[in-house]
Chains A and B, each alone.
Chain A
Amino acid sequence: MRSSYFILGFLFLALPDVSFAATAYSGACAPASSQVNAEKATTFLDQPAALLANFADGGGALSSTIRDLVTIRPETLEGIPSLSQAASGDQNRAIGAGLGTAASICVLSQPATAMDIQAAALKTSNEELVNAFVSITGDIPSNAVAGSDPTGESVTGGGRGTTTTPSAGGGGTSAGSLSFTAGSLTVSNVFSAVAAAPAVVVSPVSPTN
């Protein structure tokens, strides 16, 4: 009898992994969680904007909620454009930071999901969201121009009379390039809040390496 209880207890403990395998989206990059289950994903997709009521000022809590939603339930990416449309500037910055964190996590084990997250950020066409996103991911803009040098050596600037100069407005490579207005969400509190939130478990297995 005691052994039966042991077996039942073992099965109960093993349940989260079983549910992850059975119900999670194939591109998920974090194991299932009771806080982000299928029901909550469906509720979000039914009415994405409803999520915003709990995070009127955006902030790290909204960022970590978005991070958890898309890493555990990538199908919720479908609701991101609607969510962004209904969001304020502060909320969009928080959503962008959450998506950026999620993409950085997912690329380690699920590069396809990471790319889906990047596409979802772009599809919002929201400048505040996308700028917050690239400030987290460290996206490096590229725009070098010059003419072909007949000597074969690289040239900086020049080339058919064109001068290469830094372009304003590019996605920065550091968090400091993201400009926040006074009183709004700051990069540091997004980082700290996201870091303070329960960490998702990321598989170290990389399908491409």
Chain B
Amino acid sequence: MKSLVTVSLFLALNSTSCWAAQEGSGSALSATFVAESRNVLAPLQFVKFCMNYPAECEARTGDDLSLSRDEALKTLEEVNARVNQSIEPTLKPTAPLTAHWMIGPAAGDCNDYAVTKRHELLGKGWPSSALRLALVFAPTGGHLVLVARVKDGDYVLDNLSGAVKPWSETSYSWVSIESTVNPKFWVAVGTKNQAATERKSAINAASLD
């Protein structure tokens, strides 16, 4: 049975076509894919981050990983927990000229946690298209998280949460996310209903084949 859910990380362009194979796998968590909408401006601090760390913003195909869904989630949970523990939570300035995102600082805010997790997973061979920074509204205001794509959907690595959850199971208002096509570009996030509709469409289309 486990062989049925054995999957590899994949590029986003093939995402919807993979849904049918995952159906009926009996997984505990049910995930969906983030629906990408129109182009939007990247957060200004992301642009500064790319100026300071240009290699982090280049597209990477990643290694030929053959991780099962469970193995992939285990890696995400390990990285999420470790980075959450390694950075002391600290409020930093948000003024455009003084704010800056850092990889692996001793203390930092959500931006530092997210880019550090992304950096570590890139180092483990994950493709950049599967590791996307996303801007959301938390109850306290703007918040940056990392959205990781595995075979059955998009999961959130969050410094406000010890658990890696499907993106659709968070309570956030989703604003924008890095494009799967080019990590330098950002797109608006479609509604969760839109993602669910696309999922159903993909399943229906697959069942007609």
Contacts and interface: CB of A to CB of B under 8 A. Distances in A.
Given A162-B90, A164-B140, A206-B39, A154 B109 contact: no
Contact of B111 (A137, A142, A166, A169): A142
Interface string B158-186: 11111101000011100100010110111
Interface in A89-121: 103-104, 107-108, 111-112, 114-115, 118-119, 121
A54 interface: no
Given A142-B111, A146-B160, A208-B185, A107 B96 contact: no
B142 A115 contact: no
Contact of A154 (B40, B108, B158): B158
B40 A107 contact: yes
A156 B159 CA distance: 11
Contacts of A152: 161-163, 165
A122 interface: yes
Contacts of B159: 144-146, 148
Interface residues of B, number: 60
Nearest to A138: B41
Interface in B83-99: 84-85, 88-99
Given A142-B111, A169-B93, A157 B140 contact: yes
A108 B43 contact: no
Interface of A: 103-104, 107-108, 111-112, 114-115, 118-119, 121-122, 125, 127, 130-131, 133-134, 137, 139-157, 159-160, 162, 164-167, 169-171, 206, 208-209
4 smallest CB-CB distances across A and B, nearest first, come from: A152-B163, A170-B94, A141-B94, A142-B142
19 contacts: A112-B184, A114-B39, A115-B50, A122-B96, A127-B95, A141-B96, A141-B141, A142-B135, A143-B92, A144-B140, A149-B161, A151-B162, A154-B139, A154-B158, A156-B160, A167-B91, A170-B94, A171-B95, A171-B96
Given A111-B186, A122-B51, 8 more contacts: A121-B44, A137-B41, A141-B43, A142-B142, A144-B144, A171-B95, A209-B36, A209-B37
